[in-house]
Amino acid sequence: MRLDDGASRAHYQRYARWLEGQPADRLAQKRAEADALFHRVGITFAVYGQEEGAERLIPFDIVPRVLPLSEWTQLESGLKQRVRALNAFIHDIYHDQQILKAGVIPAEQVLCNSQYRPEMQGVDVPGDIYAHIAGIDIVRDDAGEFRVLEDNLRVPSGVSYMLENRKMMMRLFPELFSGHRVAPVDHYPDVLLDNLRSVAPIGVADPTVVLLTAGAHNSAYFEHAFLAQQMGIELVEGQDLFVHDEAVFMRTTQGPQRVDVIYRRIDDDFLDPLVFRPDSMLGVPGLLTAYRAGHITIANAIGTGVADDKSIYPFVPEMIRFYLGQSPIIGNVHTWILRRKEDKDYVLAHLPELVVKEVHGAGGYGMLIGPAATKAEIDDFRRQIIAAPDRYIAQPTLALSTCPTFADLGLAPRHIDLRPFVLSGRDVTIVPGGLTRVALRDGSLIVNSSQGGGTKDTWVLEN
């Protein structure tokens, strides 16, 4: 928000003036109001490993994160480019595997990856789209450049917070919105539904779309219910669906009804107990048969995890060159691949200053943050790396950009990232902005909600 000399950056100036004029007690009161509202509306997430039915709020910060239109426009084209390449990659991997034949990515990296689904080999999906909904995590590096930290192509979540945070800001501070031209985001559910309908099986004129959830005890249940309601589609659990004659039906009070598109919010492993985990109670037996027969669209497609795995991430810029013949608009964060000997040697020599991530880990678990780790933790990680270097990548500790955030002692800088949601179907679309996550502990770089992160409203300012 501020330059080195303490002055506000241009697009924050109007907001900074407003903020200075706000008495502290009014802001404190608005924060309390926000908490009470989130509780009443039930915008909560379930916490794993705690008392059953425990629901917590994701802390909401009332200071927005602001992006000028010029920066957003560049980010938007970079995101579209990246997701197009990722979809082309997944299609290629499950068909001709040209990128492997060309030697751009080592074949065993892909084919021996636990996220590679041989069941998908040769299966055609409508429009060749696999990652219909992608959440791309973006950070800024030391030079202020945007970089992709991570691609989320399986069941990315968080978009409901993007929408609810905006609603909350407008409710708490309506005066801010008359003074700023903030690009709206509330049409996201319409765009999402349109996108899902556009990828229905060929020949279905008026497709029935449903949202498949693991149920009310899932950590993201609020979001599932919220999106289903906003789109006006049924929120189904595995037990509500069944497969008959290679087609999917839902059980309704008026008998079985055909389903054409499943926006699923459960992992591949749980989708079909006949093919994947046999103990899954969340899925639909026979779903994959209907899927392979082309009678149902599953969004995101099965097997997208092979493209967002941390071991594949370093190759995404190469994919953009390979499939699109373009140079990447947004780069990756520099990444050392520990299966390469010279990378491993460098990383082992520099552990205290790097971030080391397990390639299959998710949610901020299984990682080492060098600067914040104790000597014992570093030694422990060193042993793990030496034992299985293939399982790790390393990145520099980014000076993630910061944004003023309400902390216990008033406004203080906190690290943030940004997750825009990229929708692919007939076209590639992004509503302006995304979910800004913020690390609430001083100095912390972890923004995951399961690890004490919070969220902010994200503004793209129109000129």
Number of residues this chain uses to bind another protein (CB under 8 A)? 26
Both structure tokens of 454: 């919070």
By beta-carbon proximity to another protein, the closer residue of 63 and 259 is: 259
**Which residue of 40, 341, 375, 383 would you call a contact of another protein, by CB under 8 A?**
40
**Which residue of 4, 20, 25, 253 would you call a contact of another protein, by CB under 8 A?**
253
By beta-carbon proximity to another protein, the closer residue of 215 and 396 is: 215
- We find the least distance from the C-beta atom of residue 176 to another protein, in angstroms, to be 24
Residue 366 lies near another protein (rule: CB under 8 A) = no
Residue 390 lies near another protein (rule: CB under 8 A) = no
Residue 251 lies near another protein (rule: CB under 8 A) = yes
Residue 252 lies near another protein (rule: CB under 8 A) = yes
Which among 254-262, 295-303, 351-359, 396-404 is the span making contact with another protein, rule CB under 8 A? 254-262
- We find the least distance from the C-beta atom of residue 179 to another protein, in angstroms, to be 28
**Which residue of 71, 242, 317, 451 would you call a contact of another protein, by CB under 8 A?**
242
**Which residue of 68, 256, 331, 452 would you call a contact of another protein, by CB under 8 A?**
256
**Which residue of 34, 235, 275, 418 would you call a contact of another protein, by CB under 8 A?**
235
List the interface residues with another protein, window 134-153 (CB under 8 A): none
Q: What angle do CA 445, 82, 219 make, to 5 degrees?
A: 50
**Which residue of 255, 278, 279, 463 would you call a contact of another protein, by CB under 8 A?**
255
264 vs 261: CA distance, rounded Å: 9
Q: Encode the chain in three state secondary structure.
A: CECCCCCECHHHHHHHHHHHCCCHHHHHHHHHHHHHHHHHHCCEEECCCCCCCCEEECCEEEEEEEEEHHHHHHHHHHHHHHHHHHHHHHHHHCCCCHHHHCCCCCHHHHHCCCCCCHHHCCCCCHHHCCCCEEEEEEEECCCCCEEEEEEECCCCCCHHHHHHHHHHHHHHCHHHHHHCCECCCCCHHHHHHHHHHHCCCCCCCCCCEEEECCCCCCCCHHHHHHHHHHHCCEEECHHHEEEECCEEEEEECCEEEEECEEEECCCHHHCCCCCCCCCCCCCCCCHHHHHHCCCCEEECCCCCHHHHCCCCHHHHHHHHHHHHCCCCCCEECCCEECCCHHHHHHHHHCHHHEEEEECCCCCCCCEEEHHHCCHHHHHHHHHHHHHCHHHEEEEECCCCCEEEEEECCEEEEEEEEEECEEEECCCEEECCCCEEEEECCCCCCCCCHHHCEEEEEEEEECC
**Which residue of 71, 128, 194, 240 would you call a contact of another protein, by CB under 8 A?**
240
**Which residue of 76, 237, 358, 417 would you call a contact of another protein, by CB under 8 A?**
237
By beta-carbon proximity to another protein, the closer residue of 253 and 463 is: 253
List the interface residues with another protein, window 206-225 (CB under 8 A): 215-216, 221, 225
Residue 41 lies near another protein (rule: CB under 8 A) = yes
Residue 192 lies near another protein (rule: CB under 8 A) = no
Residue 229 lies near another protein (rule: CB under 8 A) = yes
By beta-carbon proximity to another protein, the closer residue of 244 and 321 is: 244
By beta-carbon proximity to another protein, the closer residue of 39 and 171 is: 39
The answer for residues whose C-beta is within 8 angstroms of residue 363's C-beta and 6 or more apart is 448, 450, 451
Which among 92-100, 142-150, 240-248, 271-279 is the span making contact with another protein, rule CB under 8 A? 240-248
The answer for residues whose C-beta is within 8 angstroms of residue 91's C-beta and 6 or more apart is 128, 130
Assign residue 191 a region: left if phi > 0, alpha if psi is -120 to 50, beta otherwise? Answer: alpha
**Which residue of 33, 141, 194, 234 would you call a contact of another protein, by CB under 8 A?**
234
Residue 364 lies near another protein (rule: CB under 8 A) = no
**Which residue of 69, 100, 123, 250 would you call a contact of another protein, by CB under 8 A?**
250
- We find the least distance from the C-beta atom of residue 234 to another protein, in angstroms, to be 6
Q: Which of 358, 359, 360, 364 is nearest to 445 (CA)?
A: 364
**Which residue of 22, 70, 77, 239 would you call a contact of another protein, by CB under 8 A?**
239
Which among 234-242, 303-311, 337-345, 358-366 is the span making contact with another protein, rule CB under 8 A? 234-242
Which among 6-14, 106-114, 190-198, 238-246 is the span making contact with another protein, rule CB under 8 A? 238-246
Residue 374 lies near another protein (rule: CB under 8 A) = no
**Site residues (CB under 8 A) for another protein?**
39-42, 215-216, 221, 225-226, 228-229, 234-237, 239-240, 242, 244, 250-256
